[in-house]
Amino acid sequence: MFVLVNLKTYPCDPIEVAEAVRDVDETTDARLAVAPEATHIERVAETGAETWAQHVDPIEHGSNTGHALAESVADAGAVGTLINHSERRLKLADIDGAVRAAERADLETVVCANNPAQIGAAAALGPDAVAVEPPELIGTGTPVSQADPDVVEDAVDAAANVDDEVSVLCGAGISTGDDVVAAGDLGAEGVLLASGVAKADDPKAALEDLVEPL
């Protein structure tokens, strides 16, 4: 089970969370990673935690002021990137371009989508994984596996019908170990979460609770 913690732009200490991810990862069979803000990637990667970017743009080296270049993200220490998070939406052609850019820089990719139909379209672009995240549940503490389990099962089927090598993750409202187990029972191979760890008083304890049932 892959657990990817997205720090968004929350006012947390990215190093504290990264060290928690690193330490808890060593105690479990689950795979843990953290996605900090772009300006924190290098410092977070230096902790030894598996580090991801929150976004890369569909660009190459050149005149691209204010964009995130995949090669620069990789040089800073990231090993993967989210693409098309519901808070950083892209057009389909740009999602494709971002996946190609990430591949060029040897970054693993997780393309986010709102529903099973979008998951199928995203899987057709050949990312390493897709993640279904109904936006109305993000940050609510109510997991999609509880609010609408059919969304997860249908997303798994949609991806498999297109490319059975594309893994499916689920996100939105994930905050407990039971949520992670439920996601796995529905066919997901990982979860995305944010506030459940990034806003926790003790990120390490929050992560330990997440992986304890696995």
Q: Taking Cα atoms as reference points, which of 80, 89, 73 lies closest to residue 40? A: 73
Average pLDDT of the chain is 94
Helices and strands in the chain: count of H runs, count of E runs: 10, 8
8 annotated among ligand-binding-site residues: yes
83 annotated among ligand-binding-site residues: no
69 band by pLDDT with thresholds 50, 70 and 90: very high
Which candidate in 16, 40, 85, 189 is catalytic?
A: 85
Instruction: Identify the pLDDT of residue 151.
Output: 87
133 in active site: yes
Calpha distance 4→132 (Å, rounded): 13
Instruction: Identify the pLDDT of residue 1.
Output: 96
173 annotated among ligand-binding-site residues: yes
Which candidate in 19, 50, 55, 133 is catalytic?
A: 133
153 in active site: no
Model pTM? Answer: 0.95
Q: Indicate the angle between helix axes 177-185 and 203-211, nearest 10 degrees.
A: 40
pLDDT, tens digit (0-9, with 9 covering 90-100), for 19-65 = 999 999 999 999 999 999 999 999 999 999 999 999 999 999 999 99
pLDDT, tens digit (0-9, with 9 covering 90-100), for 157-209 = 999 999 999 999 998 778 889 989 989 999 999 999 999 999 999 999 999 99
Architecture in CATH of 2-211:
Alpha-Beta Barrel (3.20)
Instruction: Identify the pLDDT of residue 214.
Output: 87
Tokens of 89: 């939406």
Segment among 76-85, 119-128, 138-147, 193-202 with least mean pLDDT: 138-147
209 Cβ partners below 8 Å, 6+ apart?
A: 176, 177
Instruction: Identify the pLDDT of residue 140.
Output: 62
Instruction: Identify the pLDDT of residue 134.
Output: 77
Calpha distance 187→139 (Å, rounded): 22
Instruction: Identify the pLDDT of residue 137.
Output: 63
Instruction: Identify the pLDDT of residue 12.
Output: 97
